[in-house]
Amino acid sequence: MHRQTLPRRRPPLLLRAPAALALALAAALPAPLAAAPYIEHLYPAGARRGQTLEIELMGRSIDGAREVQISGGGVTGQVLSVIEPTEEQIREAKKDDLVASQTARLRLTIAPAAAPGVRDLRIMADSGLSNRFRFEIGTLPEVLEKKPDTAGAPQILPALPVIINGQCLRYDRDRFRFHATAGQNLLIQVKGRSIKPYLADGVPGWFQPKIALYAAGTGKLIEEADDFRFDPDPVLLWKVPADGDYEVEIWDAVSRGRTDLVYRMTIGELPYITDLYPLGARAGTENILITATGINLPGSTVRRRASFAGKEPGTIHINAPTKLGSTNSLPFELGSLPETFEDERKNNDTQRTAQHVETPVTINGRISRPGDTDWYSFTAKKGEKLVIDVMARRLGSPLDAKLYLAPEAPFRAAVREAGARPPNLSSDDVTDPRYGLITHHADPRLSVTIPEDGTYRVMLADTQGKGSPAHAYRLRIAPAQPDYELRITPDNLSVPAGGAVVAQIKAVRIDDFDGEIRLHVEDLPPGFDLAASTIPAGKNAAFLSLVAPRDAAPGTYAPRFRAEAEIEGKTVRHNVAAAEELMQAFFYYHTVPVAQSYLVVTAPPTFFVEVPLPAGPVELAVDQEVEIPVRITRRPLTAEEKARLQPAAPAARAKQNKQKQRANANAADPATLPVRVTALRLGKGVSITSAQFNPGETEGVVKIKVLDPKRAGADGIFVIEGTQRVRGRKISIAAPAIPYKILPAPGQEPPPPAPEKKNNREKKT
């Protein structure tokens, strides 16, 4: 079997230590400073409820994996084994200048009543809590693909419906045969990219599954697909023409082969929704008629009335129950504005026939045919700041929308008289970093200050000239509604008792809100402190420092981060969403929300670091050395901890040299070992002189000198961290983060501020 490999990294020092010593150190000392465990894939990536099964986990830094954590109820798991790569796998990886992955075997038990859906699965290992990986609990029969594939012999499937779990390995094309009956409306759906959204080391940056359907007797190609609209995961909706056997083949469309190209393919006469209309409704309203289109519904469409009384604005997911079971779910927006509908009985294709609406409003409409354009008119007063925004792609619509604002003559005249540059009156694609799974942000947005009273018209169309009843949209025309949303990364923080950990907060500022945002943390025991806990006005990101008390009990906590800001005289409070930062195709980054942040608190280290500085940012002038005072407090090991570090000596060695015995004992006693303290997170162009604390020393300084004059004007936080090595094991602890500001050298003017980087980079499909 081909093993997935990853970019070269040094193997953990723990792997090179004798097994007995490694276990003793793990029990006696806090977790080392190391990359958190990382799950590359699970296989299979789902199972039917009521099952107990073993699954394969491949990843890195999973040494000492001992616990499985799964979101939601009804599922338990245990780690059976952790297996290092074989010599052959290591040699194969070295040929490509890579390092072979580690493997773990897990056993999962899924209760018969476990709720179906996607769960977050994580493991706890020596270096902390892993990233989440998606694991789906289903209700249909499931099978595993058989390996190795037999050339020309497709795998025979049981009676439909069924879910196939497989992997596209090197040179792999998986083929399956099934029986179908004339008149059946079959759904063939693949989940691949939705299991693992991004590949850091592959182009286009995700698994691109492709499927083909054949007549089993003749081998004639019936249909094929490699996506569904803008989604890389293919879906086929197929009406069976005649009783018989058919075959479906799946492979990677860009001809790769890797163990993390995991898929789940569903085949059966199952209900499936392709579209909803409208795409949303006003929160709190009742008796809303929603039309669902798809297959195996009670008719080609289903019309149901729904109530959203008591619901808050936001995006929810809805589905439809049928005799064949519940359908898939699709996103549905609950808005805060009055709503109306495009009047499809009238022609609004031109400026002259534009449909008049009263603002503020959200319009539900459709670009119902190729070449269709929808025009709306509204009145506005001088000085109003209006936002014209489309929600379509963000709600699953295939529409690639564009906007154009056509002002009346007074608007143009006011611009000419003022000698001003004409404002931007058109918009196409605007990136919304809140939606980290979208790679082609196709929803437009305009922000316009009205110069004169009058009537204005807005046109909406598809950029590619396409259209259908599925091309639905929600068009908002309303005054600016300043607001914000926040993301915290990473979602799996780890800190020793008495130490601090740094996390990043990203702000998505809405409708030009640029004020300060304050943060705090809840659901932690007393004594935890959130230092450096604001996002300054005008900034889109900041780092915060979470400090654990020295008496914090080791364990896993689920903190909740909250935020508040003053907006137009009101205090606006929001939850902070946990998120993971994912790389796509070597370069692009996406911030993808997850359900919950976790904080792993480990045992206190053998020393603590304190930085006795006054409140406020440290000023670092270019070419001037600044001394940061540091204090070290050592914590001697208890007798029990020392005993764990000293495995019983064999009888044959009982009479070994006493001096050697003392040397070995000292090597395991942190009180006899030096501590190195340095500064981190200061970036390039900065010289740092570390402090070395020998046994008995408690006071010292870390020296910082900014060398690059271009850094003048920069600000941020830095961290003072101490490290100690005990028998090759690195023990680290950080003090609370310290804010800093870099000043120009004496007599020099600061350079103009550099433009702030965007929250993330996006790539169009």
CATH classification at residue 456 = 2.60.120.380
Does residue 254 fall inside a structural domain? yes
- 476 and 490 in a single domain? The answer is no
- 187 and 217 in a single domain? The answer is yes
Distance, in Å, from the CA atom of 579 to the CA atom of 594, rounded to the nearest integer, reads 5
Q: How far is CA 335 from CA 284, 478, 561, in A?
A: 9, 12, 25
Task: Give the closest residue to 36 by CA, choosing from 4, 75, 63.
Answer: 63
Distance, in Å, from the CA atom of 484 to the CA atom of 460, rounded to the nearest integer, reads 26
The CATH number of whichever domain residue 63 belongs to comes to 2.60.40.10
Tell me: cis bond preceding 360? Omega within 30 of 0 counts.
Answer: yes
- 546 and 566 in a single domain? The answer is yes
- 326 and 354 in a single domain? The answer is no
Task: Give the closest residue to 288 by CA, choosing from 275, 279, 298.
Answer: 279
User: Which residues does 130 contact at the CB level (< 8 Å), separation at least 6?
Assistant: 36, 37, 38, 39, 59, 62, 122, 123, 124, 492
- 493 and 593 in a single domain? The answer is yes
Residue 466 dihedral angles phi and psi, to the nearest 5°: -90, 170
Tokens found for residue 437: 């799974």
So what's the pLDDT on residue 655? 47
Does residue 452 fall inside a structural domain? yes
DSSP letter string over 249-315? EEEETT----TT-EEEEEEES--EEEEEESSEEETT---EEEEEEEEEESEEEEEEEE--TTPPSEE
Condensed to tens digits (0 to 9), the pLDDT of residues 230-287 reads: 999 999 999 999 999 999 999 999 888 889 999 999 999 999 999 999 999 999 999 9
DSSP letter string over 164-184? EEEE--TT--EEEEEEE-TT-
Beta strands across the sheet bearing 500-510: 529-531, 541-547, 500-510, 483-489, 577-584, 588-593
Does residue 589 fall inside a structural domain? yes
- 152 and 176 in a single domain? The answer is yes
Task: Give the closest residue to 6 by CA, choosing from 36, 30, 39.
Answer: 39
User: Which residues does 762 contact at the CB level (< 8 Å), separation at least 6?
Assistant: 431, 438, 439, 440, 441, 588, 590
- 70 and 157 in a single domain? The answer is no
Taken in order 611, 616, 620, 624, the sign of the CA dihedral is negative
The one-letter amino acid at 514: D
Does residue 190 fall inside a structural domain? yes
- 366 and 468 in a single domain? The answer is yes
Residue 662 dihedral angles phi and psi, to the nearest 5°: -65, -40
So what's the pLDDT on residue 320? 83
Task: Give the closest residue to 559 by CA, choosing from 519, 522, 505, 532.
Answer: 522
Does residue 753 fall inside a structural domain? no
Does residue 131 fall inside a structural domain? yes
24: part of which helix (H) or strand (E)? Answer: helix 19-28
Q: State the alpha helices, DSSP H only, in 31-177.
A: 87-95
Does residue 344 fall inside a structural domain? no
So what's the pLDDT on residue 34? 56
DSSP letter string over 360-415? SEEEEEE--STT-EEEEEEEE-TT-EEEEEEESGGGT----EEEEEEE-HHHHHHH
Q: How far is CA 69 from CA 39, 120, 123, 126, 592, in A?
A: 13, 8, 6, 15, 20
Tokens found for residue 255: 């001809």
Residue where a domain terminates, one of 217, 238, 270: 270
Residue where a domain terminates, one of 248, 270, 292: 270
Distance, in Å, from the CA atom of 240 to the CA atom of 248, rounded to the nearest integer, reads 13
Q: Is 765 helix (H, G, I), strand (E, B) or coil?
A: coil
- 523 and 626 in a single domain? The answer is no
Distance, in Å, from the CA atom of 284 to the CA atom of 395, rounded to the nearest integer, reads 20
How many domains, in total, are found in the chain?
A: 6
Residue 93 dihedral angles phi and psi, to the nearest 5°: -65, -40
- 113 and 159 in a single domain? The answer is no
Distance, in Å, from the CA atom of 250 to the CA atom of 234, rounded to the nearest integer, reads 10
Q: Is 652 helix (H, G, I), strand (E, B) or coil?
A: helix
The CATH number of whichever domain residue 627 belongs to comes to 2.60.40.60
Q: Is 642 helix (H, G, I), strand (E, B) or coil?
A: helix
Does residue 342 fall inside a structural domain? no
Q: Cβ distance 20 to 640 under 8 Å?
A: no
Task: Give the closest residue to 311 by CA, choosing from 288, 292, 327.
Answer: 288
Tokens 């046994």 locate to 695
Question: How many Cα atoms sit within 13 Å of 26 on the Cβ side?
Answer: 18
Tokens found for residue 718: 């830095």
Q: Cβ distance 322 to 295 under 8 Å?
A: no
- What stretches in the chain show pLDDT beneath 50? 1-33, 648-649, 651-655, 659-666, 758-765
Q: Cβ distance 731 to 32 under 8 Å?
A: yes
Q: Cβ distance 267 to 162 under 8 Å?
A: yes
Query: What is the residue range of 616's domain?
Result: 607-648+657-743
Distance, in Å, from the CA atom of 485 to the CA atom of 565, rounded to the nearest integer, reads 11
Tokens found for residue 431: 């990136």
Tokens found for residue 149: 């594939």
- 173 and 288 in a single domain? The answer is no
- 552 and 504 in a single domain? The answer is yes
Question: How many Cα atoms sit within 13 Å of 713 on the Cβ side?
Answer: 11
Residue 438 dihedral angles phi and psi, to the nearest 5°: -90, 130
Q: Cβ distance 436 to 591 under 8 Å?
A: yes
